[in-house]
Chain A
């Protein structure tokens, strides 16, 4: 089945430093979504990107979708302790039955050193 790889698996940064996580698919995606899961919590939707080369910003977060729609990145500027958690991308694939299936990436766990 489809796989979505994310790197790095873990990232420890000093508060105030930037953070980036990358997501890669071997096949073209219909769209990509990003989720954040706080420790002990459930995944919470951040954003969806649909168009090739799309870039979206949410305050200190910048999301990009690659031109080939096979990769994506999430960049956080000047991290804060509230950014702690695991960030997941989720790639959309159209199945043989014509419906879309979301496959979650392996996640990047971000910890912040105050």
Chain B
């Protein structure tokens, strides 16, 4: 059983389109994240949700909208895709205890290519 699974693994789309990436974790964690990894391999946090509540929202364009229907799911919707959105998007989860993030469990990543 995959602990953190995200779909799709690959997305190739045209500029201006809208796309979604889905993430699910079966670890019972209360916190989920979206990270973006660019071509230089820099990993940057985008959003974090704790029990369906948004707790971290980095400087990310409004075209990116996360949604957490329950604590096991965190989806990412991107409107009006731009070339610069091409990257690998990683979903992750962790169990936060006493303000300590704890070990992050990452999904396998979704590689988005915008043409």
Contacts and interface: CB of A to CB of B under 8 A. Distances in A.
Contacts of B105: 45
Nearest to B56: A101
Chain B interface size range? 20 to 34
Interface of B: 35, 41-45, 48, 50, 55-56, 58, 90, 96, 99-109
Contacts, number: 62
Contact of A99 (B44, B45, B56): B56
Interface of A: 1, 30-31, 33, 35, 37, 41-45, 48, 50, 86, 88, 90, 92, 94-95, 97-104, 106-107, 109
B41 A107 contact: yes
Given A43-B43, A100-B101, 11 more contacts: A33-B101, A45-B103, A92-B100, A92-B101, A98-B99, A99-B55, A100-B96, A101-B56, A104-B35, A107-B41, A107-B43
